[in-house]
Structures are given as structure tokens and as C-alpha cells.
Amino acid sequence: MIACLSSNLPNLHSTPTAPGQTTSEPDSKPQAQKLKSSPQLNRWSRARAVRSGRKLDRFGHRSPQSSVNFQVRDRDGVDLEPERISGGEDNVEAMEGKSIYMVSDGTGWTAEHSVNAALGQFEHCLVDRNCAVNTHLFSGIDDVEQLMVILKQAAKEGAMLVYTLADPSMAESAKKACELWGILSTDVLGPITEAIASHIGVSPSGLPRGAPGRNFPLGEEYFRRIEAIEFTIKQDDGALPQNLHKADIILSGVSRTGKTPLSIYLAQKGYKVANVPIVMGVELPTSLFQVDPEKVFGLTINPLVLQSIRKARARSLGFRDEIRSNYSEMDYVREELEFAGRIFAQNPVWPVIEVTGKAIEETAAVVLRLYHDRKHKCSMPRISKRY
Amino acid sequence: MIACLSSNLPNLHSTPTAPGQTTSEPDSKPQAQKLKSSPQLNRWSRARAVRSGRKLDRFGHRSPQSSVNFQVRDRDGVDLEPERISGGEDNVEAMEGKSIYMVSDGTGWTAEHSVNAALGQFEHCLVDRNCAVNTHLFSGIDDVEQLMVILKQAAKEGAMLVYTLADPSMAESAKKACELWGILSTDVLGPITEAIASHIGVSPSGLPRGAPGRNFPLGEEYFRRIEAIEFTIKQDDGALPQNLHKADIILSGVSRTGKTPLSIYLAQKGYKVANVPIVMGVELPTSLFQVDPEKVFGLTINPLVLQSIRKARARSLGFRDEIRSNYSEMDYVREELEFAGRIFAQNPVWPVIEVTGKAIEETAAVVLRLYHDRKHKCSMPRISKRY
């Protein structure tokens, strides 16, 4: 876990020097440092939360080596006595977990996205708590001095580095420093950029996102995407059924099948989405049956999983038992899913997607494969774009 | 540009054979194929739209070499007579653009995200129309036969391949086939997964996203993210000011500074966001000045750019001139921005972010850097997570 880096950046040269040489010594100014828990859909912490059966605090840990003072908790958020972590390095390492630094001269979202995808391959370990990983994203790093301060800290911590540096000289400095300081590193943007360059026979600009030369004019697609997001917000939860014909995609399912987050995810990709809740005993808008059925998608889910989601939902909404007690009651959940199933059966053109155990982006991939498949009448669904 | 692939998948072996050997011959069944225009924020097509000053159609083109029949347009959507594209290969190549195939045994979003980021390095070329690129995303490809059909088509087309194949045998097959068939390829997931494996000393599962073993339990983070999205939708456009204290981030600015899409982008990352529009002559909710000012962010934009956005918006909303004519009138735009500027000046703790020429994800990166910087009181803003 890293500390805040010194506010007095040492006057470094672009050629890397040994970590020890840095004038930035966080050790000299320990400060309390609380790690923000992941704001992202995080399968691993979710899994831990479920196992521990209670809310997690994700606090850093102080280690003899670490340069800062952290509040000390174990992974289940249990307070630890200092002696419990004053053991050897292995013990500390086991508690601290491994660090991955992500550095970008742009937004850093590509590095973050790639690391998340790769970490998905280690779920079995992360979930079983044999290992823990801390990621630290540094974006907008367009200055080699900042870069060196970060890499020095990475070297001290034994962190690995994942970088997306559009500026070739920055990428080269990162590579050199990592070699010199023995930092395991991966260049996420470089290889694919080089491949595309040789494929289309054009040299990359080397300009990071947000650089003056990268400012983009506002065109059709910009407005289209914003319009999709605004449309989707207005259509949430069955609102304005008279507009269903304007939607690209319509999602239908019982409460807590993930219609809203799925709608928003698809809207971000430029699709106008409307979602129509199915509630037992409540009639669906007639317009739902008047639109092109090829754009309607039914969502279904395992009753046990739905019940657990609804129980959590009921708690978060503070339902008192006497009110809507049936909402998360098993018989009601089953009946409502059967009610939805009958509606789906009456509309055989609607694909019915099983969302149990699927992340929002997984369900989105299924929906969009079907959507484009139907548009293009392809046997091998694919999404094509023109740049 | 590719056609739909044959619905009769040839019975291939996992060891690649020459493209010619495929029994799937799209040539034998030509079919009309319309390319869906990019559903994504797409700087390049936006730029082209702005240059051409009219709506773009993105259609494929028939080339003597290509295996399918496309409707024929040039990049501005102008219909072309067949003789206009019956020239030599260069001419056709220049018109067709280069293809990038993206293949994934998961959702494919990582490949898509990486390709988009890399293409940002070729904006100068794409914008100037010296080259054009067509991307084709094939997700959920968990079968080597499908994979080979796609790679054969890529070879025929002279496309390059970008793949994220968690299954090592699939990745190996892709690599071999690309070597054999001379397809330029980049493995996006492999290198970073290997690096993490050696860093944390654990072998990757090799399970693609959505594979049975990859189903995740529903935990705290899952509900937190969904709650953030639902909260953000409810708080859009100044709704429920009494809830501002519950927001993690509050965005404030005049109409069309991108508050809504930015709010949604941040909500997707798990932040509860509220946005409060500033309208000249309309009083802001008192609660905005009672909340922690460190979580309020002002958005500002160049008046000329704002005017052009508002004009487009007014058109899309069908404002008649006599109604809200001042909405996109320059004096009004300037005055309203000055009005907002005075409010920002009265609240010096609020950072004011210039959104002119920034994509939503760029502004989001700036907001989150400041947000985490303030949380952690760091000199080097960074976002840390624990897995």
C-alpha cells in the first residue's frame, strides 16, 4: 500500500536514479492514510463480503517496511493489535497483498480496464484470500519527474507497473527505469499501437488523451451518445411508455433483475434503452406489444438469487416487515418469475436472458450480440464500427 | 469490411488450415450488409461529420477482392456509381479502409477499449481521411471452430487481429493460425495476465468471463454500484435537492456542460452523483451551500462551443425560434456563463473544470483525480483499490 507521495517533487533528471536517491522520503512524514474502497463492481471484495457475512472496511496496514501509518484492520475489517502484524516480512506481505501501479499520461481508464480484466483470471486466489492485490491508478502523468517519483515508490514497495504512455519518451523512460530498478512492468498501449501503425501504415501521434492536439470537434456521435443517455434516464422503470417505439432496445423483467444498471451501461455505448418492469398483477403498457418485438429482451434470474438480492434491497430501503413483506418472500418471488415467464412465452420473439451470476457487462455483451445479430442477420454475431 | 459468416460452420480441426480450404465461402452467398454506425463516442466520425457538415452514413463498400456485396457509399454517404470503385486495388483499399478484428472468449470490452485507446493515436490520419478503419468485435468466442472461421475471414480480408482469449488453448490456436496465415495480431490479455501471475505467484484460471467457474457471488460492491446508478438517475438535473448531502460528488454548471453524461459515467464507477443546473435568474437550492463544499465541482465551457452545442440541442428538441430563442443566443450564453462564474467565485472551494474539447471520460478522470486527492490529501492524486 502506498502513502501519499511527497508534495516536494525532487528535481530529478529524466534518466532514472536509484530509489534510495530520491529526496522524497514519505517515511519522514508519516500520515494517516485510508484506502478508499473500490468504487467499481468488484467481484473479489464482493465475494469476501459474502464469506465474511458483513460489511468490509478496506484499510491499509502498517508494515515495518511501509512508509506510512495506516489504520490496521484485517481483511474482514477486524481491528488488529500491532503485535499481530509485527511479524516477519512474509506475514506482513501476506497481510498487505501485492501492489499494482497503473500509470497513464491520459485518463488511465485503459490501464484500469485491462488490469481488472486480467485480475479476473485470479479470482480463485483473490476470493479464497490466499492473496490480495492493491491497485493504484495515477492518471494524467505527463511529466517525467512525476513518473520517476511514482516508479521509485513502486520499486520501494515491490509493486509491478502497468502503463499506458502515449508519449514515446515517457514510455521509454518508464521502460528504462523499470529495467534499472527491477520493476516488473507491462506496456498496455504500446504493442497494440505499434501493430495498428504497421497495419495502416501511419505513425502514431504520440499525443496523450487531453493533450491540446487531441481536442476533438463535437459531432454527430457525441450528441447521439448523450441523447441516448438522456433518453435512457427518462425511460427508466417503465416511465413514458408512449416513447417505447423510440428505443433501440427495451428490457423487461421483474424487480431486481438489473434492468436499470444494464440500461445505463448500454446507453453509455450509444443505445437508446427503455426498461419496463414486470410486476405481478400490474398490466404492462400496450405499447410494449406494439413495438418491433425484435428489440425487446426479457430478463430472468434464479429465484433464490433474486430473493437474496431483494432481501438486501428491502433492507437498504428500510422496508418494515408489515410493508411489502411479500417482496422478498419466496413464494411471491417464484410466482412473479412464473408470471414473467408466461409473458415471455406469449412473446416468443423476445429473447429471454438468464442474468443469474452475470455481471452487468456480461449481460450487456449477450444483449448486444443478439441485437447486432438480428440487425445483420448474421450467424456469427459481431459489432462493426467505422472510424 | 466483412460479410456475415456462413451459418454452416465447416468442420475444422483445431489445427489451422489455409484460408482457401474453408468450406465456408461467403462469395457463394452474397448478401446485403449494412454496417451499424458506431454507438460509441467516436471522435473520428464526429470530426468527419463536422467537416462534411452533414449526417454520415457508414456503409461498407464492395471491392473486387471483397467476398460480399455491400451497398456503396463514400465516406460522406454519397452514393457511388460502380465504376467509381472499380479501379485498382489501391483505390479500393483507400476507400475500404483497413479492418481490425477483435476476438474474445469473454465480453470483448477489454479488446474494444484497448483498440479505441490505440486508435486515438491515429486521429490525425483518421480525421484527415487519409485512412479509415473498420473494427469488428466478436465476443463470446469459446469454440476453436468459430475462431478459425473468423481468422480465415480476417486472412482473406487482410485484417489485423486483436484478441483477449482467457483460455490458453484458444489463445495458442489464435497465435498459430495468425502465424500460418500471415495475420498481424496482438494479444491484449496474455502479457498482462502473465505479468500479474509472476508478480503474485499464482497461475491464472484460464476461464473466460461468463464461464461457469467465473460466476461471482453478489456482495457489497455489487449493490453499492447499483445503488450509485439508481441514486444518480434520481438526482439528475437538480431533482431532490434535499438529497444532495447523500451524494459523493455534486456537479454544477449551466445547461449543456455535460453534467448528465458525466454524472452517469461516474455513477458507473460507483460514485453517487448529483448534478445541479445553473440557470440565470433561477436560485440554486440552499442545500447546495450546506453540503461539504469539497464534493462540489463546477463545470465551465468556452462560450462559442457552448453556443454550437445549444444550437444543435435546440434543433433536436425542435425549439421554435420564438420559444427560448435566447437559449443559444450568444449574449445570453455569455451572460449565463458569467452568472455561473460569479457563483463559482463565491464558492472558492469548488474546483472549476473547463470541459471545452474534453470527452466525458477525460472530464471524469479530472474530477476523480481531484476527488481522491482531496480524500487522501495527496500531492500526487491517485485512485487506490483493494481486491
Query: Which chain A residue is nearest to residue B96, measuring alpha carbons?
Result: A386
Residues 6+ apart with CB under 8 A from B336: B254, B278, B279, B280
Does residue B293 belong to any structural domain of this protein? yes
Query: In Å, what is the CA distance from B348 to each residue of A48, B289, B294, B297, B352?
Result: 41, 12, 10, 10, 9
Do B174 and B125 share a structural domain?
Answer: yes
Nearest to A303 by CA among A342, A331, A272: A331
Q: What is the pLDDT of residue B19?
A: 42
Check A118 against B184: CB less than 8 A apart: no
Asked if pLDDT for residue A67 goes beyond 70, the answer is no
Which residue matches cell numbers 498482462? B192
Q: What is the pLDDT of residue B211?
A: 79
Asked if pLDDT for residue A368 goes beyond 80, the answer is yes
Does residue A323 belong to any structural domain of this protein? yes
Q: How many domains does chain B have?
A: 2
**Chain Cα centroid distance, residue B181:** 30
Better-predicted residue by pLDDT, A356 or A41: A356
Asked if pLDDT for residue B132 goes beyond 70, the answer is yes
Domain of residue B240, residue span? 220-375
The x, y and z cell numbers of residue B81, run together, are 456509381
Asked if pLDDT for residue A380 goes beyond 80, the answer is no
- Answer whether A25 touches B (CB < 8 Å): no
Asked if pLDDT for residue B174 goes beyond 80, the answer is yes
- Answer whether B94 touches A (CB < 8 Å): no
Of the residues B166, B200, B234, the one at which a domain ends? B200
- For chain A, positions 306-335, list CB contacts with chain B under 8 A: 308-309, 312-313, 316
pLDDT digits (tens, 9 = 90+) for B223-261: 889 999 999 999 999 999 999 999 999 999 999 999 999
Q: Give the 3-state DSSP-derived string for chain A, with helices as H, strands as E and coil as C.
A: CCCCCCCCCCCCCCCCCCHHHCCCCHHHCCCEECCCCCCCCCHHHHHHHHHHCCCCCCCCCCCCCCCCEECCECCCCCECCHHHHCCCHHHHHHHHCEEEEEEECCCCHHHHHHHHHHHHHHHHHHHCCCCCEEEEEECCCCCHHHHHHHHHHHHHHCCEEEEECCCHHHHHHHHHHHHHHCCCEEECHHHHHHHHHHHHCCCCCCCCCCCHHHCCCCCHHHHHHHHHHHHHHHCHHHCCHHHHHHCCEEEEEECCCCHHHHHHHHHHCCCCEEEEEECCCCCCCHHHHCCCHHHEEEEECCHHHHHHHHHHHHHHHCCCCCCCHHHHCHHHHHHHHHHHHHHHHHCCCCCEEECCCCCHHHHHHHHHHHHHHHHHCCCCCCEEEEC
Do B340 and B228 share a structural domain?
Answer: yes
Do B363 and B234 share a structural domain?
Answer: yes
Do B356 and B238 share a structural domain?
Answer: yes
Radius of gyration over every alpha carbon of chain B, rounded to an integer in angstroms: 25
Do B337 and B239 share a structural domain?
Answer: yes
**Integer Cα distance of A375 and A369 in angstroms:** 10
Q: What is the pLDDT of residue B216?
A: 61
- Answer whether B357 touches A (CB < 8 Å): yes
A100 interaction partners in chain B (CB closer than 8 Å)? 196, 199
Do A358 and A284 share a structural domain?
Answer: yes
Domain CATH for B323: 3.40.50
The predicted model gives A216-225 an average pLDDT of 74
**Integer Cα distance of B115 and B109 in angstroms:** 10
Which residue matches cell numbers 433483475? A257
Nearest to B361 by CA among A5, A104, A170: A104
Residues 6+ apart with CB under 8 A from A90: none
Best A121, A150, A209 member to test B by mutation, with max B CBs in 10 Å, is A121
How many angstroms separate the CA of residue A289 from the nearest CA in chain B?
Answer: 25
How many angstroms separate the CA of residue A274 from the nearest CA in chain B?
Answer: 14
Does residue A23 belong to any structural domain of this protein? no
Does residue A295 belong to any structural domain of this protein? yes
Query: Which chain A residue is nearest to residue B46, measuring alpha carbons?
Result: A219
Q: Closest CB to B133: pick one of A146, A200, A313.
A: A200
Nearest to B107 by CA among B168, B164, B36: B164
Provide the terminal-to-terminal Cα distance of chain A, rounded to the nearest Å: 41
- For chain A, positions 129-148, list CB contacts with chain B under 8 A: 130-140, 146
Does residue B151 belong to any structural domain of this protein? yes
Query: Which chain B residue is nearest to residue A192, measuring alpha carbons?
Result: B186
Do B341 and B225 share a structural domain?
Answer: yes
Q: What is the pLDDT of residue B48?
A: 29
Query: In Å, what is the CA distance from B289 to each residue of A93, B236, B241, B350?
Result: 45, 18, 11, 11
Better-predicted residue by pLDDT, B280 or B43: B280
B200 interaction partners in chain A (CB closer than 8 Å)? 98, 122, 125, 131, 133
Residues 6+ apart with CB under 8 A from B68: B1, B2, B3, B26, B27, B30, B31, B33, B60, B62
Asked if pLDDT for residue A46 goes beyond 50, the answer is no
B314 interaction partners in chain A (CB closer than 8 Å)? none
A115 interaction partners in chain B (CB closer than 8 Å)? 192, 196
- Answer whether A32 touches B (CB < 8 Å): no
Q: Give the 3-state DSSP-derived string for chain B, with helices as H, strands as E and coil as C.
A: CCCCCCCCCCCCCCCCCCHHHCCCCHHHCCCCCCCCCCCCCCHHHHHHHHHHCCCCCCCCCCCCCCCCCCCCECCCCCECCHHHHCCCHHHHHHHHCEEEEEEECCCCHHHHHHHHHHHHHHHHHHHCCCCCEEEEEECCCCCHHHHHHHHHHHHHHCCEEEEECCCHHHHHHHHHHHHHHCCCEEECHHHHHHHHHHHHCCCCCCCCCCCHHHCCCCCHHHHHHHHHHHHHHHCHHHCCHHHHHHCCEEEEEECCCCHHHHHHHHHHCCCCEEEEEECCCCCCCCHHHHCCHHHEEEEECCHHHHHHHHHHHHHHHCCCCCCCHHHHCHHHHHHHHHHHHHHHHHCCCCCEEECCCCCHHHHHHHHHHHHHHHHHCCCCCCEEEEC
- Answer whether A199 touches B (CB < 8 Å): yes
Asked if pLDDT for residue A47 goes beyond 60, the answer is no
Contact B358, A217 (CB under 8 A): no
Enter the pTM of the model.
0.77
Asked if pLDDT for residue B52 goes beyond 60, the answer is no
**Chain Cα centroid distance, residue B355:** 18
Check A385 against B36: CB less than 8 A apart: yes
pLDDT digits (tens, 9 = 90+) for A78-93: 332 222 222 233 333 4
Query: Which chain A residue is nearest to residue B53, measuring alpha carbons?
Result: A219
Asked if pLDDT for residue A303 goes beyond 50, the answer is yes
Check A56 against B220: CB less than 8 A apart: yes
How many angstroms separate the CA of residue B241 from the nearest CA in chain A?
Answer: 18
The predicted model gives B82-93 an average pLDDT of 31
How many angstroms separate the CA of residue B35 from the nearest CA in chain A?
Answer: 6
- Residue A332 class from Cβ within 10 Å (0-12 exposed, 13-18 middle, 19+ buried)? middle
How many angstroms separate the CA of residue B374 from the nearest CA in chain A?
Answer: 11
Q: How many CB pairs under 8 A join A and B?
A: 465
Asked if pLDDT for residue B83 goes beyond 70, the answer is no
Do A195 and A227 share a structural domain?
Answer: no
Check B133 against A387: CB less than 8 A apart: yes
How many angstroms separate the CA of residue A380 from the nearest CA in chain B?
Answer: 6
Check A271 against B117: CB less than 8 A apart: no
Of the residues A168, A200, A232, the one at which a domain ends? A200
Of the residues A200, A230, A255, the one at which a domain ends? A200
Asked if pLDDT for residue A11 goes beyond 90, the answer is no
Q: What is the pLDDT of residue B289?
A: 98
B268 interaction partners in chain A (CB closer than 8 Å)? 264-265, 268
Check B201 against A131: CB less than 8 A apart: yes
- Answer whether A365 touches B (CB < 8 Å): yes
- Answer whether B11 touches A (CB < 8 Å): no
Q: What is the pLDDT of residue B324?
A: 60
A230 interaction partners in chain B (CB closer than 8 Å)? 260
The x, y and z cell numbers of residue A149, run together, are 517519483
Q: What is the pLDDT of residue A129?
A: 66
- Answer whether B89 touches A (CB < 8 Å): no
Do A116 and A255 share a structural domain?
Answer: no
The predicted model gives B100-120 an average pLDDT of 96
Asked if pLDDT for residue A386 goes beyond 80, the answer is no
Check B106 against A100: CB less than 8 A apart: no
- Answer whether A361 touches B (CB < 8 Å): yes
Q: What is the pLDDT of residue A125?
A: 84
Do B106 and B163 share a structural domain?
Answer: yes
Does residue A211 belong to any structural domain of this protein? no
Prediction ipTM score = 0.77
Do A240 and A359 share a structural domain?
Answer: yes
The predicted model gives A277-282 an average pLDDT of 95
Check A110 against B113: CB less than 8 A apart: yes
- Answer whether A209 touches B (CB < 8 Å): yes
Does residue B304 belong to any structural domain of this protein? yes
Q: What is the pLDDT of residue B319?
A: 65
Better-predicted residue by pLDDT, A210 or A37: A210
- Answer whether B347 touches A (CB < 8 Å): no
Do B273 and B145 share a structural domain?
Answer: no
Nearest to A140 by CA among B296, B270, B383, B357: B383
Does residue A244 belong to any structural domain of this protein? yes
